[in-house]
Amino acid sequence: MTELPVVPAAVNRPRKPDWLRVKLPIGENYKHVRGLVDTHKLHTICESGNCPNMGECWGAGTATFMILGNTCTRSCGFCAVATGRPDPVDWDEPQRVAEAIHLMKVKHAVITSVDRDELADGGSIIWQNTIRAVKALNPDTTLETLIPDFKGQKENIQRVIEAAPEVVSHNIETVERLTRQVRIQAKYWRSMEVIRTLKEGGMRTKSGIMLGLGEKKEEVIQTLKDLQANGCDVVTIGQYLQPTAKHLPVHRFVHPDEFAEYKEIGYTLGLDYVESGPLVRSSYHSEKHVFAGLGRKEWEASR
């Protein structure tokens, strides 16, 4: 008699709660942004990162552009962006990004990139060219740049500073204890040094943390303290969502009340703007993060 194959037991994963439900992407603005991205052969972290807010943001006519291709040289345990050998640098990309932003007529744009560790400059020259191209064609558009750590090379970070975007963000992603597991090739204190270098260069600085990877409450608070001590102005805190079965599992789904508590703690520590909630991502509501003191004023008014 033929034996039936043994079916493995289902993996015991936490069930996604109701507060993490998102709307499907619909509407004319969504179609317009979709068309621009396709026409200009652009990459967006909205798609590559499986962002849960893509429908909302694209429906509002905004998107976060990802430069330097859509293949990353790093293999972070949380990230949905493909890992491998990237294509050669596309030197025409900065102008295409600038033109797309011009056609979208957005007041605030966000640009990020993959890590390009194989490049001597880490991709910083394309970064500088992109920022300058966007500003030249869109002088009234404010700009946030979400940059990699450039392996901590200050000359590469300086290129971004010299291009003078309104906000420069570099995500710490998780607490110190989990960094080696979550970010693999990155280093917690190197990222803190990047933020300090940006601040010393006169930038408005920003970073982001994911929750639900096994961090402890006191570790989250310590990370907020470390960010504030190293000159971070804006912090975003959101729920980690496992992109595929190959990525790190969700340890737990953090309740909205806990996110609200971290927001309160962040302001009491002296941070200028704290965006904290289950669906918060680095570029979510980023147009608000340009203005110094706005977050604190809103928080104080709500007390």
CATH level 2 (architecture), domain 22-302: Alpha-Beta Barrel (3.20)
- In three-state form (DSSP H/G/I as H, E/B as E, the rest C), the secondary structure along the chain is CCCCCCCCCCCCCCCCCHHHCCCCCCCHHHHHHHHHHHHCCCEEHHHHCCCCCHHHHHHCCCCEEEECCCEECCCCCCCCCEECCCCCCCCCHHHHHHHHHHHHCCCEEEEEECCCCCCCCCCHHHHHHHHHHHHHHCCCCEEEEECCCHHHCHHHHHHHHHHCCCEEECCCECCHHHHHHHCCCCCHHHHHHHHHHHHHCCCEEEEEEEECCCCCHHHHHHHHHHHHHCCCCEEEEEECCCCCCCCCCCCCCCCHHHHHHHHHHHHHCCCCEEEECCCCCCCCCHHHHHCCCHHHHHHHHHC
pLDDT one-digit tens code per residue, 41-50: 555 544 444 4
pLDDT one-digit tens code per residue, 275-294: 999 989 887 788 889 999 99
Predicted confidence (pLDDT) at residue 114 exceeds the cutoff of 60: yes
Predicted confidence (pLDDT) at residue 200 exceeds the cutoff of 60: yes
Predicted confidence (pLDDT) at residue 63 exceeds the cutoff of 70: no
pLDDT for position 287: 85
pLDDT for position 1: 42
Q: Which band of pLDDT confidence, cut at 50, 70 and 90, is reported for residue 6?
A: very low
- Percent of the chain at pLDDT exceeding 70: 81
Predicted confidence (pLDDT) at residue 26 exceeds the cutoff of 70: no
Interacting residues of 279 by C-beta distance below 8 A, sequence separation 6+: 20, 22, 52, 53, 238, 239
pTM, full prediction: 0.85
pLDDT for position 120: 96
